[in-house]
Structure 1
Amino acid sequence: MSSYNRPSVVAPVFHDADGQIIDYGNRWSGSPPEETYSVDTHPERFAPLHTVADALIAHLRATYDVRLTEGEGTAGDLLRPAPEFLRAVRIQPNDPACAALTFVFTAYPGIFLHAGLLHDFHYPVCGCDACDSNWTTEADLLEQQVLAVVTGHYREGIEDGPQPWVEYAFTYPDGANSGRSRAEEIPAERFEAAKPILCDLTEGWASWPQRSSGS
């Protein structure tokens, strides 16, 4: 099996009003200034995420037994529409026990990722000056979560009850990440269609089968 390697990226450099390089990710030693909230000075700093997503797609296509679908309709895999989407690619393993991934490229620039049946993940979640995120941190998370899905370390579940919760969990070599949301926040038809499938996946989604050498 080939291993994934992040492509070489020429990182964009930005300067402040004094001509100093802006060190995104390390700007604030304490709370950010109030005026930096809801201000997004250089969203183009996230442009390398498109390069990273392209590399991940190429790696998954070459390594695993999958089929790819690309086109405007594929962006409909997201639970909520992506603003100004440019391109969408669904990677569907040929084993139905495996979670599919859909990469949606946005003009922001950023990546929306739909994983499995009921979860979307955004890179970045927020690019405002106060949050001070940088493209490398977002790329780390994108790669980590995509590879967790591929290796069978991703789980979706539903906690039943009068007000059901929809949950996800990633397991990584160095830890885990999980979250939950109310089922009412998900389109009802998507939730109802996913329920019987997720109830059968008590151990989570399976690892993706590798592509045979002759295929």
Structure 2
Amino acid sequence: MTIELARRRGEASGIDALEWAPRWTDSPDADAYSRVTDPERFRVLQPFVLAVLADLEAEFNVRREPAGTFSGGAAEHVRWSDPVRLVPADAKAAPLTVAFTSFPGVLVRFGEATDVVLPFCGCDACDDLVQHLVEDLRFHVEALVTGGFAEWHDAKGAGHRFAVGAWGTNSSFTPSDDPPTISPFRHDWAPWPLRVTASR
């Protein structure tokens, strides 16, 4: 799939017809960091992420299953519901788990322990534009399904990397002096297997 097509995943939700204007032309007001105006604008991310899952199911050899327990990471810090997981037929490829947050928004877990919460904050100062969050999620998903996603956790901390050719790379490492709460691991995840269409 080309980057142009990857940037259209989830379009059945109609989200690409929507656009939000920036709140600020200069620095935000001091009290904007503690103010949230119209959080409902983020609810459109929920049907969007469901449409992304449907597109992925049509394109790749995966199975959908209830996620059941969704613990650790960002799941400990947001109220979430209705978790569902896509599991690739190839065990070397990373699963994708999504849940709705009460903000409202979405919590997405890539692989074993890499969480992305959209919106991450939602305050007026951050002024997250939904169209930018949509682009971010499409980028992360494309990295996942094309084998451009890696994650690791060891005594020094936790890190991840998302890479999609000319689209770019996003990486992060969070150092930690605390004793690890999970066993060390490193996953350089494989691409998702494509769904084979039977010939007629």
TM over 0.5: yes
Give the drift of 1:49.
0.6
Structure 1 unaligned segments of length 5 or more: list them: 13-22
2:166 paired with 1:171: no
Give the drift of 1:94: 1.5
Instruction: Provide closer, same or farther for how the CA distance between residues 95 and 169 of structure 1 changes in structure 2, counting only shifts above 3 A.
Output: same
Number of aligned positions between the proteins = 191
Q: Is the 2:35–2:123 contact (alpha carbons within 8 Å) kept by the matching residues of 1?
A: yes
Q: Is the 8 A contact 2:80 2:102 kept in 1?
A: yes
Residue 106 of structure 1: how far off its partner (Å):
1.5
Superposition CA RMSD, Å: 2.7
The partner residue of 1:69 within 65, 72, 82 is 65
Residue pairs, 1:145-184, within 5 angstroms: 145-158=140-153, 163-172=155-164, 173-182=166-175
CA deviation string 1:110-168 (max 9, x = no partner): 1111111121111111100011112111111111101210111111134x5xx412110
Q: Secondary structure of the equivalent of 2:162?
A: strand
The 2-side partners of 1:91 and 1:76 are apart by: 17
1:49 aligns with 2:42: no
The whole-number CA distance in structure 2 between the counterparts of 1:130 and 1:79 is 21
SS at match of 1:137: helix
The equivalences for 1:98-109 within 5 A come to: 98-109=93-104
AA paired with 1:142?
Answer: L
Contact 1:11–1:48 (8 Å) recurs in 2: no
Q: Which has the larger radius of gyration?
A: 1
Letter in 1 for 2:196: S
Return the letter of the residue paired with 1:124: P
1:1-215 mapped onto 2 (5 Å cutoff): 3=5, 5=8, 6-7=11-12, 8-9=14-15, 11=18, 24=21, 26-70=22-66, 73-76=68-71, 80-81=75-76, 83-158=78-153, 163-172=155-164, 173-182=166-175, 188=181, 191-192=182-183, 195=185, 198=186, 201=187, 204-214=188-198
Mapped contact 1:84–1:106 kept (Cα < 8 A): yes
Going from structure 1 to structure 2, the CA distance change for 1:213 and 1:48 (only over 3 Å counts) comes to same
Would the alpha carbon gap of residues 185 and 169 (structure 1) be closer, same or farther in structure 2, given more than 3 Å must change?
Answer: farther
Amino acid at match of 1:49: L
Once residues 29 and 94 of structure 2 are traced to their aligned partners in structure 1, the CA distance between those partners, rounded to angstroms, is 41
User: Offset of 1:83 from its aligned partner?
Assistant: 3.1
Q: What TM-score comes out, normalization by structure 1 length?
A: 0.78
Flag the 1:42–1:91 CA change in 2: closer, same or farther, 3 A.
same
Q: What amino acid does structure 1 have at the position aligned with 2:66?
A: E
Residues 185/81 of structure 1: CA separation in 2 closer, same or farther (3 Å cut) = farther
> CA 1:178–1:75 in structure 2 vs 1: closer, same or farther (change >3 Å)?
same
